């Protein structure tokens, strides 16, 4: 047995028993092994990252590749933050040849603190230069496609698509390209560093007005609904010019008249006796009659079928289904009582009510009674889409109840209820409480008894004519001021109530929102008759995928990052402390001398935690000529009614790599199409964009997508026609290149939530 | 210090669902994993990068981890070996044998020499120059004092194969150190 300098390894002694020189070498190797302890800051930081990641349930799969990757996700544009600290090099060169005139140059950007993105870059030389040679040596990082011009001895570099806002730039001209017309050469390359000003902070402004267009004429009363794709408005009492009354398609059954009677075979006969029928109005084509005047109508969940209840002439209703364009009508059932509301429970089953009973009928004509309201208990006036809930207006008094149809349980809606509306997915109910004046607007999930009063722009006004969009995150209503009598049509976000559009209007009714909330339609009544009108909703053309980030959380995030950047390189310690939960020591971990920051992504995680990816930036200066970047991951959670930063993981500063960088990823959805807007800091080589961008599902399968690059905004629009719900991953390969041929240094990857 | 096996198994199972349990595993194994990685890379930034990579990979894969009768650390070392190899494939070593030649002093006693950090670097640079499997086996044995069986588990080798790797590795180190001495003596 041998002890090797106090160390004994019987396995090695056995292995080298006949080779003592190897024992000696082993002793030498072991004695010289590194004795190093990890930096405790690194150890603690990594632990925090891991635990935070594990807490979000990503241990099994899908851990974001934080290391060496840029942050990602939905963006709150990075342009709102940070005062730019900009340095620009004063350029002074001395010719190598004593017989040549001393060459000097300067940039107009010198010592500026904030450069307009529309600014041109001028480099002024003190003598004529070899223009083409100099131009060939210009290199700008991030890459910018530019045009050159000369004004005397000044080189004017004009970005083709303007500079990016809130971005540090470095303009270099290599020494070998700095050649004067006289042949003088420079002693050093030109190196100009500057940064652009942040995008102006949006100021509170009055919500924009609507600009309605008339789609067509309407009869009296009736209601409106959108086709499932949001492309057309359907009126139950629409009127079309006589010449335009044509069958909806070559194969369709002849268009039924307004008071048509369905034959037992399910086709229509007879002539219109009153104006008005089920008419589809579109901005892209002529109005088309798709059915008779119904008392109730609904599209199936898949959008392929239409169900309508029409007067059977005997005091009851026929429930008729057809293709969505009205063709191939088929009578399902003849209800002895008039049907006042109907909806589709599934693509083959319809639920309807006559005000007292709730029944169902499927496409095989099988019926069943789901619920019967006790006599004198009120009237069932509306059904939620999907048929899980219904609204019962009271027989007397001011209350009203939400009925769970399957269980029979009733939940009284707050106040004196009128104008009840359900979202298109049946999950949210809105109503007006007129128990006091002015009336108030409430919303709540149908499964919860948690009424939420909506803030209205005019606190003296009463709401009416309420409608919700498909997902219940947008509402429209009429707001009538009790003092002035002024009526406004309001479209607002839910749950915040923030108006998206407000328009003074008179004699409007039957408000309805498109499924995506990007259009609002209504009936405008005048002495000349009624018309169906439609207007796009400004500011709400599309919807963010996934749950909305709470406004309060977003405010905390903005305030926190602004405080990190602070002023003159000094963070706002008081604000950081105020916005941080106990134990979050963001002040000590925030890199010094920050110039700006980008919030590249925010996403709402389970349990309401908001996760944000941020890049903290130190502009170049004389002491460090490269832009430095630190990636940061922040978690924000609600605490005692306010949102605080509960975790701030900050990676060490690194020199920003050459080549393009992703600065913003915004997932949006509209009308079932998911779109990602991926914005870069560089002008890209368009040919490299589509091939570099892919989207995968959770199984790693690449989804069909298209990517179109807009050089003006430096944004690639990635469109997924049929994105599955759940977590998807955006990947950008290093084959992506800028206009200077520089590739994305590291593959970029981020996850986002898709689906409704 | 080794965790009691039963407790470690329970901890690993909990870590599949419980962030704090993963944190406890991290607390226990971070030091030796970082030390192992640093001993192979001898560059703080690179060691931190690779250590992060190892633990994030472990977090990602722990749901699929099944106890095999070996310590959990063996699994972490397996990940580490692969991550280090990936690192070597993507980057050149941060130091080279050449850089150590000038400071070697073979006349000094071994015990004296090892206190010289340059000498330590020279010795481990010789290990760096070994083939990957020999390098890994040598590092685990002489850097981490592991048993041959455990090294075999990490490298996917039999105990006999590990012995062979270490034997050849030791000869390789001697040869490399000997070449250095010879060069210096000539100069």
Q: Hey, are the CB atoms on B145 and A9 less than 8 Å from each other?
A: yes
Contacts of A570 (CB under 8 A, 6+ apart): none
Residue that wins the pLDDT comparison between A731 and A623: A731
Instruction: Give residue-wise pLDDT tens across range A452-480.
Output: 888 888 888 899 999 999 888 899 999 99
pLDDT at A333 over 80: yes
Q: How far is B75 from chain A (nearest CA, A)?
A: 16
| Residue of A43, A51, A60 lying closest to B30 (CB–CB) | A43
CB contacts of A747 in chain B (<8 Å) are: none
Residue that wins the pLDDT comparison between A283 and B31: B31
Q: Hey, are the CB atoms on A50 and B124 less than 8 Å from each other?
A: no
CB contacts of A16 in chain B (<8 Å) are: 167, 170
Sketch the domain layout of chain B as residue ranges: 1-94, 95-187
Instruction: Evaluate whether A399 touches A416 at the Cβ level (below 8 Å).
Output: yes
Query: Has domain B95-187 been given CATH number 3.40.1350.10?
Result: no
Question: What pLDDT, on a 0 to 100 scale, did the predictor assign at position A459?
Answer: 80
pLDDT at B113 over 60: no
Residue spans of alpha helices (H) in chain B: 5-15, 19-41, 44-61, 72-90, 97-101, 110-113, 117-128, 132-138, 148-155, 159-186
Would you call A154 an interface residue with chain B, using a CB distance cutoff of 8 Å?
no
Tell me whether residue A269 is exposed, middle or buried, using C-beta atoms within 10 angstroms of its C-beta: 0 to 12, 13 to 18, 19 or more: exposed
pLDDT at A86 over 70: no
Q: Hey, are the CB atoms on B124 and A31 less than 8 Å from each other?
A: no
State mean pLDDT over B58-70.
83
**Tokens representing A199?**
């995008």
Q: How far is B132 from chain A (nearest CA, A)?
A: 17
B residues 54..83 contacting A (CB < 8 A): 55-56, 59-60, 62-64
Per-residue confidence band for A349, with pLDDT thresholds at 50, 70 and 90: very high
State mean pLDDT over A200-215.
66
Q: What is the ipTM of this complex?
A: 0.79
CB contacts of A24 in chain B (<8 Å) are: 110
Question: What pLDDT, on a 0 to 100 scale, did the predictor assign at position A275?
Answer: 66
Per-residue confidence band for B28, with pLDDT thresholds at 50, 70 and 90: confident
Instruction: Give residue-wise pLDDT tens across range A658-709.
Output: 899 988 888 776 656 778 888 899 999 999 999 999 999 888 888 888 899 9
Instruction: Evaluate whether A382 touches A429 at the Cβ level (below 8 Å).
Output: no
Would you call A541 an interface residue with chain B, using a CB distance cutoff of 8 Å?
no
State mean pLDDT over A150-177.
86
pLDDT at A308 over 90: yes
Residue that wins the pLDDT comparison between A555 and A673: A555
Instruction: Evaluate whether A21 touches A12 at the Cβ level (below 8 Å).
Output: no
What sign does the CA torsion over A453, A456, A461, A464 have? negative
Question: What pLDDT, on a 0 to 100 scale, did the predictor assign at position A30?
Answer: 82
Query: Could you tell me the CA-to-CA distances from A158 to A109, A144, A166, A681, B176 in Å, in that order?
Result: 14, 9, 18, 17, 59
Per-residue confidence band for A370, with pLDDT thresholds at 50, 70 and 90: very high
To 10 degrees, what angle do helices B19-41 and B72-90 make? Answer: 50
**Residue A531 pairs with which residues in a beta bridge?**
A217, A524
Q: Hey, are the CB atoms on A53 and B30 less than 8 Å from each other?
A: no
State mean pLDDT over A530-553.
69
State mean pLDDT over A410-418.
86
Tell me whether residue A234 is exposed, middle or buried, using C-beta atoms within 10 angstroms of its C-beta: 0 to 12, 13 to 18, 19 or more: buried
Would you call A20 an interface residue with chain B, using a CB distance cutoff of 8 Å?
no
Q: Report the residue of chain B nearest A55, measured CA to CA.
A: B19
**Residue A269 pairs with which residues in a beta bridge?**
A261
State mean pLDDT over A84-98.
33
Instruction: Evaluate whether A514 touches A469 at the Cβ level (below 8 Å).
Output: yes
Q: Hey, are the CB atoms on B55 and A34 less than 8 Å from each other?
A: no
Instruction: Evaluate whether A485 touches A506 at the Cβ level (below 8 Å).
Output: no
- Residues A582 and A592: their CA atoms lie apart, in Å, by 22
Question: What pLDDT, on a 0 to 100 scale, did the predictor assign at position A509?
Answer: 93
What sign does the CA torsion over B72, B73, B74, B79 have? positive
Least confident of A199-203, A343-347, A451-455: A199-203
Question: What pLDDT, on a 0 to 100 scale, did the predictor assign at position A421?
Answer: 94
Q: How far is A68 from chain B (nearest CA, A)?
A: 9
Instruction: Evaluate whether A572 touches A83 at the Cβ level (below 8 Å).
Output: no
CB contacts of B174 in chain A (<8 Å) are: 21-22, 25
Residue with tokens 């009659």: A289
Q: Hey, are the CB atoms on A34 and B35 less than 8 Å from each other?
A: yes
Q: Report the residue of chain B nearest A45, measured CA to CA.
A: B52
Per-residue confidence band for A199, with pLDDT thresholds at 50, 70 and 90: low
Query: Closest by alpha carbon to A261, among A199, A316, A341, A307?
Result: A316
CB contacts of A61 in chain B (<8 Å) are: 60, 63
**Tokens representing A431?**
């109503």
Question: What pLDDT, on a 0 to 100 scale, did the predictor assign at position B65?
Answer: 85
pLDDT at A211 over 50: yes
pLDDT at A266 over 80: no
Residue that wins the pLDDT comparison between A743 and B7: A743
State mean pLDDT over A617-640.
84
State mean pLDDT over A509-535.
90
Same fold, B1-94 and B95-187: no
Per-residue confidence band for A112, with pLDDT thresholds at 50, 70 and 90: low
Q: Report the residue of chain B nearest A41, measured CA to CA.
A: B48
Instruction: Give residue-wise pLDDT tens across range B32-54.
Output: 899 888 888 878 888 888 999 99
Per-residue confidence band for A746, with pLDDT thresholds at 50, 70 and 90: confident
Q: Hey, are the CB atoms on A26 and B124 less than 8 Å from each other?
A: no
What sign does the CA torsion over B41, B45, B47, B53 have? negative
Residue with tokens 């270099």: A172
Least confident of A32-41, A517-526, B57-66, B71-80: A32-41
Question: What pLDDT, on a 0 to 100 scale, did the predictor assign at position A66?
Answer: 29
- Residues A323 and A329: their CA atoms lie apart, in Å, by 7
Instruction: Report helix, strand or coil for B63.
Output: helix
State mean pLDDT over B169-173.
89
| Residue of B18, B42, B167 lying closest to A34 (CB–CB) | B42
| Residue of B52, B64, B174 lying closest to A25 (CB–CB) | B174
Question: What pLDDT, on a 0 to 100 scale, did the predictor assign at position A539?
Answer: 62
Query: Closest by alpha carbon to A471, among A723, A672, A727?
Result: A672
Per-residue confidence band for B117, with pLDDT thresholds at 50, 70 and 90: low
Instruction: Evaluate whether A72 touches A667 at the Cβ level (below 8 Å).
Output: no
Would you call A633 an interface residue with chain B, using a CB distance cutoff of 8 Å?
no
Q: Report the residue of chain B nearest A5, measured CA to CA.
A: B111
Per-residue confidence band for A756, with pLDDT thresholds at 50, 70 and 90: very low
Query: Closest by alpha carbon to A599, among A80, A57, A90?
Result: A80
Instruction: Evaluate whether A413 touches A420 at the Cβ level (below 8 Å).
Output: yes
CB contacts of B16 in chain A (<8 Å) are: 59-60
Contacts of B156 (CB under 8 A, 6+ apart): B78
Question: What pLDDT, on a 0 to 100 scale, did the predictor assign at position A22?
Answer: 85
Contacts of A445 (CB under 8 A, 6+ apart): A427, A428, A429
pLDDT at B166 over 60: yes
Per-residue confidence band for B91, with pLDDT thresholds at 50, 70 and 90: low
* Best A11, A23, A52 residue to mutate vs chain B (most B CBs within 10 Å): A11
| Three-state secondary structure string covering A20-87 | HHHHHHHHHHHHCCCCCCCCHHHHHHHHHHHHHHHHCCCCCCCCCCCCCCCCCCECCCHHHCCCCCCC
What sign does the CA torsion over A131, A133, A134, A140 have? positive
Domain B1-94 adopts which CATH fold? Rna Polymerase Sigma Factor; Chain: A (1.10.1740)
Instruction: Evaluate whether A742 touches A658 at the Cβ level (below 8 Å).
Output: yes
| Residue of B15, B16, B114 lying closest to A32 (CB–CB) | B114
| Residue of B52, B55, B170 lying closest to A25 (CB–CB) | B170
Instruction: Evaluate whether B154 touches B78 at the Cβ level (below 8 Å).
Output: yes
Question: What pLDDT, on a 0 to 100 scale, did the predictor assign at position A670?
Answer: 60
State mean pLDDT over A250-263.
35
Instruction: Report helix, strand or coil for A654.
Output: strand
**Residue A350 pairs with which residues in a beta bridge?**
A344, A361
Q: Hey, are the CB atoms on B114 and A31 less than 8 Å from each other?
A: yes
What sign does the CA torsion over A336, A342, A345, A348 have? positive
Tell me the percentage of chain A whose pLDDT exceeds 70. 83
Question: What pLDDT, on a 0 to 100 scale, did the predictor assign at position A356?
Answer: 93
Question: What pLDDT, on a 0 to 100 scale, did the predictor assign at position A242?
Answer: 64
Residue that wins the pLDDT comparison between A479 and A610: A479
Gyration radius (Cα) of chain B, Å: 18
Question: What pLDDT, on a 0 to 100 scale, did the predictor assign at position A235?
Answer: 94
Strand pairing class (A519-526; A508-513) = antiparallel
Q: Report the residue of chain B nearest A24, measured CA to CA.
A: B110
Instruction: Give residue-wise pLDDT tens across range A383-404.
Output: 998 889 999 998 876 678 999 9
Q: Report the residue of chain B nearest A65, measured CA to CA.
A: B56
- Residues B30 and B11: their CA atoms lie apart, in Å, by 15
Complete edge-to-edge strand list for the sheet that includes strand A662-670: A543-544, A662-670, A673-680, A715-720, A706-710
Question: What pLDDT, on a 0 to 100 scale, did the predictor assign at position B177?
Answer: 78
* Best A8, A33, A67 residue to mutate vs chain B (most B CBs within 10 Å): A33
Instruction: Give residue-wise pLDDT tens across range A125-136.
Output: 888 888 888 999
Q: Report the residue of chain A nearest B61, measured CA to CA.
A: A60
Question: What pLDDT, on a 0 to 100 scale, did the predictor assign at position A522?
Answer: 95
Q: Hey, are the CB atoms on B120 and A38 less than 8 Å from each other?
A: no
Would you call B35 an interface residue with chain A, using a CB distance cutoff of 8 Å?
yes
pLDDT at A89 over 60: no
Instruction: Give residue-wise pLDDT tens across range A16-26.
Output: 888 888 888 88
**Residue A754 pairs with which residues in a beta bridge?**
A726
pLDDT at A233 over 90: yes
* Best A27, A38, A53 residue to mutate vs chain B (most B CBs within 10 Å): A38
pLDDT at A319 over 70: yes
Per-residue confidence band for A534, with pLDDT thresholds at 50, 70 and 90: very high
| Three-state secondary structure string covering A186-251 | CCCCEEEEEEECCCCCCCCCCCCCCCCEEEEEECCCCCEEECCCCCEEEEEEEECCHHHCCCCCCC
| Residue of B53, B63, B113 lying closest to A59 (CB–CB) | B63
CB contacts of A650 in chain B (<8 Å) are: none
Q: Hey, are the CB atoms on A26 and B171 less than 8 Å from each other?
A: no
pLDDT at A111 over 80: no
* Best A40, A43, A50 residue to mutate vs chain B (most B CBs within 10 Å): A50
Would you call A15 an interface residue with chain B, using a CB distance cutoff of 8 Å?
yes
Instruction: Report helix, strand or coil for B45.
Output: helix
Q: How far is A606 from chain B (nearest CA, A)?
A: 15
pLDDT at A104 over 90: no
Question: What pLDDT, on a 0 to 100 scale, did the predictor assign at position A586?
Answer: 84
**Tokens representing A320?**
């008729």
| Residue of A21, A24, A46 lying closest to B55 (CB–CB) | A46
Query: Closest by alpha carbon to A645, among A653, A657, A633, A627?
Result: A633
Q: Report the residue of chain A nearest B17, measured CA to CA.
A: A57
DSSP A88-122: -PPPB---SSTTSPPPBEEETTTT-S-B-TT--EE
B residues 92..131 contacting A (CB < 8 A): 110-111, 113-114, 119-120, 123-124, 127
Per-residue confidence band for A71, with pLDDT thresholds at 50, 70 and 90: very low
Question: What pLDDT, on a 0 to 100 scale, did the predictor assign at position A113?
Answer: 63
Number of Cβ pairs < 8 A linking chain A and chain B: 143
* Best B33, B45, B48, B50 residue to mutate vs chain A (most A CBs within 10 Å): B48
Would you call A24 an interface residue with chain B, using a CB distance cutoff of 8 Å?
yes
Q: Report the residue of chain B nearest A15, measured CA to CA.
A: B163
Question: How does the average pLDDT of chain A come out, rounded?
Answer: 79
| Residue A229 φ/ψ region, left for φ over 0, alpha for ψ in the -120 to 50 degree band, beta for the rest | alpha
pLDDT at A272 over 50: no
Structural domains of chain A, with CATH: 62-81+547-754 (2.60.40.1220), 105-195 (2.60.40.3710), 424-538 (2.120.10.30)
DSSP 8-state symbol, A606: G
Q: Hey, are the CB atoms on B113 and A46 less than 8 Å from each other?
A: no
Contacts of A119 (CB under 8 A, 6+ apart): A109, A163, A196
**Tokens representing A653?**
């500063």
Question: What pLDDT, on a 0 to 100 scale, did the predictor assign at position A56?
Answer: 65
- Residues A175 and A105: their CA atoms lie apart, in Å, by 13
């Amino acid at each position: 047995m041998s002890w090797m300098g106090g160390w004994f390894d019987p396995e090695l002694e056995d292995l080298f028993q006949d080779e003592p020189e190897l024992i000696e070498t082993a002793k030498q190797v072991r004695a010289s092994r590194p004795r190093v302890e990890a930096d405790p800051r690194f150890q603690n930081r990594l632990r925090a990252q891991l635990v935070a990641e594990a807490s979000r349930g990503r241990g099994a799969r899908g851990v974001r590749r934080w290391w060496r990757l840029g942050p990602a996700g939905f963006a709150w544009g990075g342009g709102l933050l940070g005062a730019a600290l900009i340095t620009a090099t004063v350029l002074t060169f001395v010719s190598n040849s004593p017989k040549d005139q001393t060459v000097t140059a300067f940039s107009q950007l010198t010592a500026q603190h904030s450069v307009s993105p529309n600014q041109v870059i001028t480099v002024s030389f003190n003598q004529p230069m070899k223009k083409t040679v100099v131009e060939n040596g210009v290199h700008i990082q991030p890459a910018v496609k530019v045009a050159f011009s000369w004004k005397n001895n000044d080189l004017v570099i004009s970005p083709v698509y303007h500079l990016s806002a809130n971005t540090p730039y470095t303009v270099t001209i290599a020494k070998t390209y700095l050649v004067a017309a006289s042949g003088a050469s420079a002693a050093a390359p030109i190196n100009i560093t500057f940064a652009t000003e942040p995008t102006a902070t949006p100021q509170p402004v009055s919500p924009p007005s609507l600009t309605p267009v008339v789609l067509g004429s309407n009869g009296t009363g009736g209601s409106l609904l959108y086709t499932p794709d949001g492309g057309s408005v359907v009126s139950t009492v629409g009127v079309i010019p006589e010449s335009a009354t044509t069958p909806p398609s070559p194969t369709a059954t002849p268009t039924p008249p307004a008071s048509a009677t369905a034959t037992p075979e399910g086709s229509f006969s007879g002539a219109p006796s009153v104006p008005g029928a089920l008419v589809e109005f579109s901005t892209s084509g002529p109005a088309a009659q798709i059915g008779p005047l119904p008392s109730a109508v609904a599209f199936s969940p898949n959008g392929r079928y239409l169900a309508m209840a029409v007067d059977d002439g005997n005091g009851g209703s026929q429930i008729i289904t057809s293709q969505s364009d009205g063709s191939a009508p088929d009578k399902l059932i003849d209800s002895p009582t008039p049907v006042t509301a109907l909806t589709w429970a599934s693509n083959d089953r319809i639920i309807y009510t006559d005000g007292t009973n709730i029944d169902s009928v499927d496409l095989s004509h099988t019926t069943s009674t789901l619920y019967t309201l006790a006599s004198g208990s009120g009237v069932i006036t509306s059904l939620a889409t999907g048929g899980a809930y219904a609204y019962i207006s009271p027989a007397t008094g001011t209350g009203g109840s939400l009925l769970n149809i399957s269980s029979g349980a009733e939940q009284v809606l707050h106040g004196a209820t009128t104008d009840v509306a359900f979202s298109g997915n049946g999950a949210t109910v809105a109503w007006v409480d007129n128990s006091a004046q002015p009336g108030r607007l409430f919303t709540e999930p149908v499964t919860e008894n948690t009424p939420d009063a909506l803030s209205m722009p005019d606190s003296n006004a009463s709401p009416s004519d309420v409608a919700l969009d498909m997902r219940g995150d947008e509402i429209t209503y009429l707001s009538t001021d009790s003092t002035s009598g002024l009526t406004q049509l309001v479209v607002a976000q839910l749950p915040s109530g923030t108006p998206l559009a407000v328009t003074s209007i008179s004699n409007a009714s039957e408000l309805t929102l498109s499924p995506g909330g990007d259009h609002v339609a209504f009936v405008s009544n005048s002495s000349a008759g009624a018309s169906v009108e439609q207007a796009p909703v400004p500011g709400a053309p599309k919807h963010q995928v996934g749950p909305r980030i709470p406004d309060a959380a977003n405010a905390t995030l903005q305030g926190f990052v602004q405080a990190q950047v602070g002023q003159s390189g000094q963070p706002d310690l008081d604000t950081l402390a105020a916005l941080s939960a106990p134990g979050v020591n963001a002040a000590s971990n925030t890199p010094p001398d920050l110039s700006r920051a980008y919030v590249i992504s925010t996403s709402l995680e389970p349990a309401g935690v908001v996760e944000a990816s941020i890049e903290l930036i130190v502009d170049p200066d004389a002491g460090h000529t490269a832009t430095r970047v630190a990636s940061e991951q922040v978690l924000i959670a609600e605490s005692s009614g306010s949102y605080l930063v509960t975790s701030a993981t900050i990676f060490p500063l690194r020199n920003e790599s050459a080549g393009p960088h992703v600065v913003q990823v915004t997932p949006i959805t509209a009308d079932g199409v998911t779109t990602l807007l991926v914005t870069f800091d560089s002008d890209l080589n368009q040919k490299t964009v589509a091939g570099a961008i892919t989207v995968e599902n959770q199984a790693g399968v690449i989804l069909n997508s298209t990517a179109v690059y807009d050089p003006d905004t430096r944004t690639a629009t990635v469109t997924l026609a049929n994105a599955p719900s759940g977590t998807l991953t955006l990947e950008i390969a290093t084959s992506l290149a800028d206009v200077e041929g520089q590739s994305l240094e590291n593959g970029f990857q981020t996850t986002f939530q898709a689906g409704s | 210090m080794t965790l009691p096996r039963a407790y470690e198994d329970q901890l690993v199972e909990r870590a599949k669902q419980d962030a704090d349990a993963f944190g406890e595993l991290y607390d226990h194994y971070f030091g030796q994993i970082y030390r192992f990685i640093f001993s192979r890379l001898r560059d703080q930034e690179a060691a931190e990068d690779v250590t992060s990579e190892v633990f994030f990979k472990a977090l990602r894969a722990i749901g699929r981890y099944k106890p095999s009768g070996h310590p959990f650390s063996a699994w972490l070392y397996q990940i580490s070996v692969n991550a280090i190899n990936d690192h070597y494939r993507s980057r050149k070593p941060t130091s080279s044998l050449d850089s150590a030649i000038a400071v070697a002093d073979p006349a000094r006693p071994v015990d004296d020499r090892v206190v010289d950090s340059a000498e330590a670097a020279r010795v481990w640079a010789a290990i760096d120059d070994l083939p990957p499997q020999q390098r890994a086996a040598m590092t685990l044995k002489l850097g981490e004092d592991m048993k041959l069986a455990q090294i075999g588990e990490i490298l996917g080798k039999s105990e006999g194969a590990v012995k062979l790797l270490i034997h050849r590795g030791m000869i390789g180190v001697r040869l490399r150190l000997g070449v250095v001495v010879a060069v210096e003596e000539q100069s």
